[in-house]
Amino acid sequence: MSFRRAATAASLGYLVGTFPTVDLVSRRAVGGPVDLRTAGSGNPGAANAINVLGKRAGYTVMAIDIAKGALASGAGAVVAGRAGAHTAATASVIGHCLPVWSGGKGGKGVAPSVGQCLATFPAYFPIDLGIAAITASNPRWKQRAFTATLVSSVCWVLGGVLWWRRQWPNLWGPRPTAALPAASLASSAIIAYKFASARPPVKAAA
């Protein structure tokens, strides 16, 4: 993959990731703008949208943000092949977390990373969902979202290494190469950064 194609794939992925899902959904949900960067937990993502705007709006945000990761991967593949798919998908996570249009105040990147996994690592996707379901159903894990996300991320990266080294089939995804664990590691790193730098939730007055 040439540098020019890689840069194009990364740029496309980043732009897709910056799509202001939560801003548009909030306008339709309440008939006017609600800035989730200052409301609730201060995170403009699906979880905060569910708490502030309701389940319908929140799950709409989640679905669109997952689609961003998958769409970016597809665009990257068209521009620069399978390596471009990984590059663009990771760039979409970065764009979601650090959108230039809002001064870098984006979401935590979990939803677009789900789309990334679905598009680039579909063979592992059911395992990813299983790990997410287990952590979400356990009250102790549910209260430690950062820890649960780290566990899921580590499994994602290790899965990428295993599929690459064993050359196991990857369903409709690109043939496993070193780019698979590298891209999942890069996305996991930006997600971990966003979780670590997130401000505490706003508590309601007594």
CB 186 within 8 A of CB 116: no
Could you read off the pLDDT of 28-82 as tens digits, one per residue?
776 666 788 888 778 888 888 888 888 898 899 999 999 999 999 999 999 999 9
What is the residue whose two structure tokens read 């403009």? 44
What is the residue whose two structure tokens read 């990364």? 10
pLDDT of 127 above 70: yes
pLDDT of 178 above 90: yes
* Domain assignment present for 205: no
* Domain assignment present for 48: yes
Question: What range does the domain containing 78 cover?
Answer: 3-197
Could you read off the pLDDT of 103-125 as tens digits, one per residue?
888 999 999 999 999 999 999 99
* Domain assignment present for 202: no
- Please indicate whether residue 41 or residue 18 has the higher confidence score (pLDDT): 18
Nearest of 34, 13, 38 to residue 24 by alpha carbon: 34
CA distance 84 to 20: 23
Nearest of 84, 47, 52, 90 to residue 68 by alpha carbon: 90
Encoded amino acid at 90, one letter: T
pLDDT of 141 above 70: no
- Please indicate whether residue 138 or residue 129 has the higher confidence score (pLDDT): 129
* Domain assignment present for 206: no
What is the residue whose two structure tokens read 């970065």? 94
* Domain assignment present for 60: yes
**Total of domains in the chain:** 1
CB 69 within 8 A of CB 115: yes
* End-to-end CA gap in the chain: 58
Task: Indicate the pTM of the whole model.
Answer: 0.91
pLDDT of 201 above 70: no
* Domain assignment present for 203: no
* Domain assignment present for 193: yes
Nearest of 59, 76, 60 to residue 17 by alpha carbon: 76
- In this prediction, residue 192 has a pLDDT band, given cuts at 50, 70 and 90, of very high
pLDDT of 6 above 90: yes
